[in-house]
Structure formats: C-alpha cells, structure tokens
Chain A
Amino acid sequence: METREVVLEVEELVKRYAGVTAVDGVSFRVYAREIFGILGPNGAGKTTTLECIETLRSVDAGTIHLGGLNVRTQAPEVKRIIGVQLQSSSFFDKLSLAELLLLFGEMYGRRVDPLLLLDEVELRDKSRSQVGQLSGGQKQRFSIAAALVNDPVVIFLDEPTTGLDPQARRHLWGVIKRIRSEGKTVVITTHYMDEAEELCDRVAIMDAGKIIALAPPHEMIDALIAGGFRKERIERLASLEDVFLSLTGHTIRDE
C-alpha cells in the first residue's frame, strides 16, 4: 500500500457556511487507479468535500493536492485534469449528445470523438438525442461521458446511482468498473452500502463533517465482527433485490 502513487491528498480540510462547519478537519489520500468511496448520511459533508476538491468552493482551512497541484492556488490547472459528474446538474437543452460532447471537448481545447465517448457509456445509438429525452440512468451515463472528455486523471461521481432502478444501477457499476480498468482513479459518493461494497477498494465514512472510519469495505466488516458484533438475524442466502432481479432480469429498461 505504502508504495502506491498518491493522486489526491486532502489534509485537515475545513469548510464553514454561515457558522455551520460542514467539513471539519477531513484528511484522506486516494491512490492511482482505485475506486474510493465516501459514504455517509445526508448532510454529512460528502458533497461539500467533493466540491472543495473540484474547485467549486473556497476552502477555509487545510490543503488539497491533486496530481501534484495545489487546488487552492492552481484551480485552472486542476480543472484540466479532473472529470466531474455533479449531483444535480444538467446540460444545455437543444443540443444533441454528440454536440454537447464536442462542445465540452472544446472547453478543454480538445477535439473529441463523441461516438467513442458514447461507446464508453453505451449510448452510441443516442448520439443524436437531446439530454431531455434520456431516462435517468442514461442521463447519469451521459454525465459520466461528459466527465471523460478531457481524459481526466481523476473522475468524481457524486451519488451517480441515486434514483435509479436496480438494473440501471448495476449497469452503471459496470461502466464505473470499466473506467477504472482503463487506468482512471474514481472518487464516488453514495448512500448505498451494497454499492460501496461492490465497487470501492476503500471507503471513508463521514458523519457531521468528519471522517469516522476509513478502510477497505471487507476490513471494516471483519473488524466489526471481530469486535463481537452479530446480526440479530442470520443473513439469508438471497435478498429481496436478488428476487427482484431474478424476476425482472438484468437487462436495463431505460433504452
């Protein structure tokens, strides 16, 4: 672990809004080519932490280094090497997906091949559609394609699967894993523990603006069990989600 390349290093990050400390001394490192999860209840400070790293918010205290750049002083350079999918943001209406990707490429001074990017998220056949015509899962996948136009070092996904049905969620997991396998580092926030367990190499659990645990998911589970924790009911061999998926199939429905 110690020899791995550090891509993102956050140290003692503090962010306050009008007296409320949303992020209260958060520190963590993200290594190259890992999927790093930030978990926590609503209002824990996950999104604010991401927005500070993404240069969208000013930092009150602490430092953030990304790809060797200081986020506080080198925001323009940082923007060039990150890809961002924001929690509740949209894209221009009236432009097709291909036109949007070309335009976003231009914002980085790049001429991208929109169809290749759409292949990445399995939306090639929607290249002429507009964002308003896409389903929830397709929108999130498009949002990821737009975050990839500059071939970023790190890609940030803020609750990408919230509101999606189980099929679409699983499909998106496949897309995210593939992006990682192509050499990118992924930082993801989520409310879904199964998602974190399935996707993330390591997770940080946040509550009230602080990181209260940081480890690979299985280590956390092992530690809990070693501490004497037992579920009141023994886990069944299948969950209701397994029932749902075996009944409705794994094919995504939003096409």
Chain B
Amino acid sequence: MRIKWMLTLASLKMFIRQREAILWTILFPLLVVVLFGFVKFNGVGSIELGVVNDAGAPGGELLSRIRAVRTFEVSEGTKDAEMALLGKGERDLVLVIPQGYAPGVATDLTAFGDLEAKPQVTQLGGLVLQRVLDEAAFAGAPGVKRTTLSTLPVKSRNLTYIDFLLPGILSMSIMQMGIFGVAFSFVTLKKRGILRRLWVTPIRPSDFIIAQVAMRLIVLILQMTIMVGVGVLFLNLHFIGNLALIYLLGILGAVVFLGFGFSLAGISKSEDQVAPLANIITLPMLALSGIFFNRTNLPGFVRAVTGLFPLTYLADGVRSVAIDGATLMQVMPQILGLVLWGAVSCAFAVRLFRWE
C-alpha cells in the first residue's frame, strides 16, 4: 500500500513539475472557454417562444399564424411548464392566450420575457407578436378593435453560451488527459527503458498502473474544481449542481478514457504511432459530442449515433448536473452509458497493454 502511495506522490510531483502539463490541463481549457465565450454564435437568430393556449380553437388559429413566422421557434405547453422553462432561459418569451380570446374582440394578451437580461430578443419578439395579432384581428373585418399585447418582465437565469460550453470543455479535457496523457507518457516510459528498470525491482506492474491512475484522478479533481471555481467567480457560470456528482461523472469518464489511453499505449511503439490513433478517436467526439454546439441541430441519424459516444454521455451528464441541477437519478442514463464504455475500454486495455 505504502509503495502505491509513494509512487502516486512521485508521479504527482513529476506531473506538477512539467510546466506544459499544467498549461494543457488547466490553462488551455479555461482559455478555450473564455475565447469561445466571447464569440456570439447565434446572435438573434431565432426566438424561443413558448405559447400557453387557454382559448381553444381561436387560440389554435392564432397559434398557427405565429408558427408561420420564421423568427419564432414555437413550443406549446402549460403555463407552469413554460414559465419554468423561461426561468431557466430555455424560452425567450412566453405568450399566454387567455380564455375568451377571439380575433377582433378586444382582449389583452400578455407575453413574459426577461427584459433586463435579453432586451433585444424580448422587444423584437413583442413587436413581431403584436404584428401577428393585428393581422389576425384585421383579417376578418377592417375596423375591429385591436388586441393589445403587454410584455411583462420576468427574471430568468439567462443561461449563456459559457454555461453550455464550460461543462463541455471540462469533459473534453478529461478525454484529452486520459487518452493523450496516458498514451504518450507510457510510450515514452517504454521507449526510454524506464519501465524495464522498474521491473528489476520488487514492485508489481499493477502498483505502478494504480499509482498512475490515482495521480490522474487527483489531478482531475483539482482540474474540475478549478474550472468550476473560475467559471463561477469570473465567467458568470450559473452553477447550481452537486459538485460531488460532477466528480463522480468526471471519474467515470476518466476511467473510460484512461482505458483507451492504455490500449493505445499498448499497440503503439512510438509517439509517432500514438498521435494519429489518438486523433482518430478524439476528433469525431470533439466535433459531434455536443462540446461546442448543441447536438439537437444534427440530423436524426447522426444525432442517434453520436448520442452513444462516451464523450456525449460525459458532457451531457456534467452539463445537466452543473446547469440544471440534475440529480443522481436524472443522470442515471449517462452514468450507465459511461459504466458500459468503461467496461469496454478497460477490457481493451487489459488485452492490448504491453510493457515491452
């Protein structure tokens, strides 16, 4: 036991003394978050509009007119549900069509939006809605009374791109550390004969592997704490999750990717062989696991396949815990997905890993 701990400590020392390692594991992911956080990808593209229809058929007719407006991404729901989504920032505007509404009859409608946090979106949405209402009213007969819309301010959590991105980048760096970190360092240890020198001492290979994994898990916990901390303190991250649950997901993800890292170290003889293999595994996940962009925009088939990627499970899990405050039961699908992938990658590692 003592030797495992001493080896872990020594590996930690070696890791911390490598300046480039600190750079890649801590500073680089933060830099990506900050840089991408400043880039506005969507601007005012579409407006997420929730509609609460309490007016039956006349309301339905209005709804179809609203759906025809391409600026709106319309969803329909109960008032409670839509207001909750508005609070989370997943709706920009919620329109309530009250009982008794009929086009051409003076009724006041109400739209809710966060005027303070999203002034342009809320005001633009309100204007467009007013136009739709007017068209509906005047379509029947000219000279009828106008339906007026009032916009009521609501405080939303106003989630930003940073909230989407930071958990994703956190997951990405777990993948990079597991795959690149382990594969490269073990290939170097093999090539330079450092491992051979260890095997003439009484330590068991498992002692060394356990120490290497333990060291990386310690670094990982530090890294996750720093990223969430910096996010909350400096980047306005709306973190409402359970940190312990984030650690759990991070460790499961690390096990998956460490397994792949050891597998690669097993089948590669030099760093030149590691790099392309590691890229083949990581690049598709970087692009398609919902790290930088929401996967909902992907075509159905691609979305279904990428939903099975280990990085997708990790990023979705970390994101919903961090931002939506998901509970253990709510991220159970992600946890199960990671456990399955972990079993696969560790089985590969055991089969493929070679000391020589």
Contact = CB atoms under 8 A, between A and B. Distances in A.
A107 B202 contact: yes
A55 B200 CA distance: 7
Given A93-B14, A99-B10, A88 B193 contact: yes
A82 interface: yes
Contact of B192 (A55, A84, A90, A99): A90
A106 B193 contact: no
Given A95-B10, A95-B13, A90 B203 contact: no
B250 to A, nearest CB: 25
B82 to A, nearest CB: 56
B3 A86 contact: no
B196 A106 contact: no
Contacts of A107: 3, 198, 201-203
Interface residues of B, number: 20
Interface string B184-200: 00000000111011111
A19 to B, nearest CB: 19
Pick the most buried of B2, B200, B203: most chain A CB atoms within 10 A of its CB: B200
Nearest to A107: B201
Interface in A76-126: 76, 79-80, 82, 84, 86, 88-95, 99, 103-104, 106-109
Contacts of B14: 92-95
Main SS class of interface, B: helix
B18 interface: yes
A106 B200 contact: no
A54 interface: yes
B328 interface: no
Contact of B202 (A80, A95, A103): A80
Interface of B: 2-3, 6-7, 10, 13-14, 17-18, 192-194, 196-203
Interface of A: 54-56, 76, 79-80, 82, 84, 86, 88-95, 99, 103-104, 106-109, 146, 150
Top 10 nearest A-B pairs (CB, nearest first) are A89-B193, A107-B201, A94-B14, A94-B17, A84-B200, A89-B197, A106-B6, A90-B192, A107-B203, A79-B202
8 contacts: A56-B200, A86-B193, A89-B194, A92-B194, A93-B14, A95-B13, A109-B2, A150-B201
